Amino acid sequence: MFVQPSARLLRTRAFSTSAARRTTSVTLKALGLDAYNLGVYNGAWGGNGTIVESVNPATGEVIGAVQQANLSDLNQTLDNASQAAKIWRSVPAPKRGEIVRQMRNALFAKIEPLGKLVALEMGKILPEGIGEVQEYIDIADYAVGLSRMLNGQVVPSERAGHMMMEVWNPVGVVGVISAFNFPVAVYGWNSAISMVCGNSVVWKGAPTTALTSVAVTKILAEVLETNNLPGAICSLASGGAEIGNAIAHDKRVNLVSFTGSTNTGRKVALAVQARFGKSLLELGGNNAIIVHNDADIDLAVRSVLFAAVGTAGQRCTTTRRLFLHADIHDTFIERLIKAYEQIKIGNPLESGILCGPLHTKQSVRAFEQGVEDVKAQGGKILHGGNALHHLVGNFVEPTITSIAHDAPVVHREIFAPILHTIKYDDISEAVAWNNEVGQGLSSSLFTTSPEKMFNWIGPEGSDCGI
């Protein structure tokens, strides 16, 4: 007897563990990785800390293991990076750019397997995984050009026969602490620019994406070693909070770049500031889109869909709040729900999948708690709202809610595909609501009015940086 499958099952796809194992094996081999890997590089590979297993969030299977750094490993790595910085800073900037160009080419040669590893380990769909590696390649291209433009200014002096000259010098050692959701690109943005500026880099990636950190470092290390340069220019100290905390407190790290949660970022900033170091923070985002009554609805629906669902809602720039003008609210919601109904959830390596798994079981629990909080705070679930426990991995349904703009759950960043929709009558009201959360990062306005566009980007518009 034929039984009609549910709509949810039609929109979700699992994949065989045997196929996943074959894909994993081929991918690791292409990147020079094994089932067990050393996670410390400072000119030589090592590691004496705990062993962390990397788990495929779509299957729950172990991909491989990495031996992390302990504090002694980190201490040696920082010593080596400090010495390497003294050599690297004396290399002319255009020649530093040439090394970054070679790294760019080496990354491009591995873009497919490295993008596939990102999909396997982080869980984002394959086009996003490959696209993330491309982001590193793109910033490397930019850095190569920048290496020939690190010029300062000549400033007139008020004293006769004198002038003032501005010269930019390296800071020394840059520590990069990156998050799981962009395990390649965030490091790339930091390291490519840091390197052409003459700094060595010490990287601590997320423990849950340690294989990707090792794979990237292997690619960079080969370029450095081929050019007879100290490998410690691109050092790696895999580890958890203990290693990150030590980097934040260590005076040998002249600048700490941290990407992650607001709570942890606050701790990093205070630790670095206490020793008068420099910090660069990219933290949470509770991002909004405003769709006004004169907007192109087709364009807005497509944009909102990917902005809210891409990377399974695990981007710092994921859209989490949607403000809809009353005139178009009902129509827009109807069309958005229809679009959500077409989303395919499942194996991030499979063509046609738009939403892969959340990264961890903890993320699934945070999603479920968020849904419960919406209901408890007077909101409604318009679409989705369920964790897909019938699938092996960490899958959830992309979810649309209807809730008040000032509900506590709306003001909390939930790193999952939950989109809160709010109706407004006047655009000044929507702009104020856009600005009222404490995690402004990115925001968008859909309108055909030039006046509203320029107001939006002006001092009375969005307070977000993007």
Residues of the chain with pLDDT under 50: 1-15
Q: What is the pLDDT of residue 14?
A: 47
CB 65 within 8 A of CB 120: no
Residue from 115, 106, 94, 253 nearest 177 by CA: 253
Q: What is the pLDDT of residue 168?
A: 93
* Token reading at 171: 């800071």
Q: 13-23: per-residue pLDDT in tens?
A: 444 566 677 88
Q: 380-406: per-residue pLDDT in tens?
A: 999 999 999 999 999 999 999 999 999
Q: What is the pLDDT of residue 5?
A: 33
* Token reading at 196: 């052409």
Positions marked active-site: 282, 316
Q: What is the pLDDT of residue 267?
A: 96
For residues 114 and 107, what is the distance between their CA atoms, to the nearest angstrom?
8
Q: What is the pLDDT of residue 210?
A: 98
For residues 208 and 29, what is the distance between their CA atoms, to the nearest angstrom?
20
Output the CA angle 438-360-181, nearest 5 degrees. 55
Q: What is the pLDDT of residue 23?
A: 85
Q: What is the pLDDT of residue 22?
A: 82
Look-up: residue for tokens 């991030």?
348
Beta partners for residue 324, in sequence order:
291, 423
Q: What is the pTM of this model?
A: 0.93
* Token reading at 140: 């490397």
For residues 107 and 294, what is the distance between their CA atoms, to the nearest angstrom?
44
Q: What is the pLDDT of residue 12?
A: 45
Positive/negative CA dihedral, 264, 269, 270, 274: positive
For residues 144 and 96, what is the distance between their CA atoms, to the nearest angstrom?
8
